[in-house]
Amino acid sequence: MERERKEFAAFYSGCRDDCLRAVVAVSREPALAEDLVAEAFSRAWASWPKVQRHPAPAAWVVRTALNLRVSWWRRRRRESPLANSDVIGSYEATGSHEDLLTLVRGLPRRQREVVLLRVWLDLDARTTAEVLGISVGTVGAHLSRATAALRTHLMNSDLEEVS
């Protein structure tokens, strides 16, 4: 039991921040993302023998957090009407990643998920496809569209700075 505890503690400390950034980028709500990630990690601990054997345990945590968000959203939708769902919550990113994180938040949901899993969590296309429940080709298509959109935006903003 002590060995499992140490393994989980190392897993948690090694990927908690990446998982949180991924969920914040998708959910656009930092406070909710923190709650979702905390709940996902508690579920990971409860199922640690299974999660530990998963090909990408960090992706399991992110997917669990995103599934929890869907459940939360469905419950909330029944409780009260949505109020301005297009508002992007502010997230205090640090360093030079702030602008990029803002751009990624503007991508469609599936493209955001693919970018976060493939680029930020460094998963391969097959694992990303399994986590999201889509084909490997669809992962490639979403990643291609996302990078094209980001590239276009970044090139346009560079041109505006020069002008």
* Contacting residues for 118 by C-beta, under 8 A, at least 6 apart: 124, 125, 128, 139, 143
Do 76 and 99 belong together in one domain?
no
For 107-146, give one letter per residue: b (16+ CB within 10 A) or e.
beebbbbbbbbbebbebebebbbbbbebeeebbeebbeeb
If we measure between CA atoms, which residue out of 116, 129, 115 comes closest to residue 58? 116
Do 74 and 105 belong together in one domain?
no
Q: What is the CATH number of the domain that holds 163?
A: 1.10.10.10
- Single residue among 51, 82, 113 that ends a domain in this structure: 82
Q: The tokens of 97 are what?
A: 């990643």
Q: Structural domain of residue 25, as residue ranges?
A: 1-82
Do 6 and 78 belong together in one domain?
yes
Domain count, the chain: 2
The CA-atom distances, in angstroms, between 3 and each of 6, 45, 48, 57, 75 are 5, 13, 12, 17, 38
What tens digit of pLDDT does each residue of 104-157 get?
A: 888 999 999 998 888 888 888 998 898 899 999 999 999 999 988 888 887 776
Do 72 and 115 belong together in one domain?
no
Flag whether 73 is in a domain.
Answer: yes
Q: What is the CATH number of the domain that holds 45?
A: 1.10.1740
Do 116 and 149 belong together in one domain?
yes
What tens digit of pLDDT does each residue of 27-79 get?
A: 788 888 899 999 999 999 999 999 989 988 998 999 999 888 877 666 665 54
Do 22 and 61 belong together in one domain?
yes
Flag whether 153 is in a domain.
Answer: yes
* Rounded Cα distance, 77 and 126, in Å: 33
Do 17 and 78 belong together in one domain?
yes
* Rounded Cα distance, 119 and 121, in Å: 6
pTM of the predicted model as reported, rounded to 2 decimal places: 0.52
